[in-house]
């Protein structure tokens, strides 16, 4: 197994892991905490990384497991609705180019079914490629694209028909 430099891994993936967690939690503080804990576990467990997936996917699996553990522990976690997050607050946490229009879109995304919401959030907030999304969710890349496209169509229907 090749030698890993955790500092380099952190520099490359920390922002992406944070964005992924923010997609799950919609909570800035919790996402930051879980990102740090993800890398703490990665440092401890890197020797167990089997290389049967990409390192980024392995980190996201750790992050997702930590998030689920947190949900079970507290049974309910405070989620900041997108419409309550001001633009400057998000920019301080490395999510670029957010506009009021995007916040409106994100609030509409929250009304979609879970799978569509997750894929659209990972793509729009997490800025992940369809390939990365497919690896994380263990679906085909084409499925991720189709679900994303159908989600966009549902959002367009909401705009064309007014609020549903």
Q: How confident is the model at residue 79 (pLDDT cuts 50, 70, 90)?
A: very low
pTM above 0.75, yes or no: no
Q: Which CATH number covers residue 124?
A: 1.10.10.10
**pLDDT tens for each residue of 125-135:** 777 889 989 98
Question: Averaged over 47-76, what is the pLDDT?
Answer: 83
Same domain? For 101 and 142 the reply is: yes
Res. 110 pLDDT band, cuts 50 70 90: confident
Residue 27 neighbours by CB distance under 10 Å = 18
Q: Are residues 102 and 37 located together in one domain of the fold?
A: no
**Residue 99: which domain range?**
94-164
Indicate whether 139 and 68 sit together in one domain.
Answer: no
Within a domain: residue 140?
yes
| One domain, residues 1 and 70 | yes
Residue 71 is given by DSSP the state H
% helix, strand, coil for the chain, step of 5: 75, 0, 25
Looking at the structure, tell me whether residues 120 and 45 fall in a common domain: no
DSSP classification of residue 139: S
pLDDT of 85 strictly over 90: no
DSSP string of 82-94, one letter each residue: GGGS-HHHHHTTT
The two structure tokens encoding residue 135: 């690896």
Q: Is residue 127 part of a domain?
A: yes
- The answer to whether residue 52 scores a pLDDT higher than 70 is yes
Q: Do residues 12 and 71 share a domain?
A: yes
Please identify, among 22, 57, 80, the residue that sits at the C-terminal boundary of a domain: 80
Q: Say if residue 3 is in the same domain as residue 57.
A: yes
The tally of domains found in the chain comes to 2
* pLDDT at 142 > cutoff 90: yes
Q: What is the pLDDT of residues 28-45, one digit of tens each?
A: 899 999 999 999 999 888
pLDDT at 45: 87
Q: Does residue 86 belong to any structural domain of this protein?
A: no
Is 111 part of any domain?
Answer: yes
Same domain, yes or no, for 75 and 98? no
């Amino acid at each position: 197994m090749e030698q890993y430099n955790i500092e380099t891994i952190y520099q490359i993936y920390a922002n992406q892991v944070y964005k992924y967690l923010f997609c799950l939690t919609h909570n800035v503080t919790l996402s930051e905490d879980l990102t740090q804990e993800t890398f703490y576990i990665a440092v401890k467990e890197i020797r167990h990384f089997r290389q049967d997936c990409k390192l980024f996917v392995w980190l996201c699996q750790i992050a997702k497991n930590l998030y689920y553990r947190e949900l079970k522990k507290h049974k309910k976690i405070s989620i900041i609705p997108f419409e309550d997050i001001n633009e400057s607050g998000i920019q301080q946490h490395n999510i670029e180019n957010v506009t009021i229009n995007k916040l409106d879109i994100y609030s509409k995304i929250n009304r979609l079914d879970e799978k569509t919401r997750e894929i659209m959030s990972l793509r729009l907030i997490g800025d992940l490629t369809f390939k990365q999304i497919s690896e994380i969710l263990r679906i085909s890349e084409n499925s991720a694209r189709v679900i994303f496209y159908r989600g966009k169509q549902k959002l367009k229907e909401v705009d064309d028909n007014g609020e549903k």
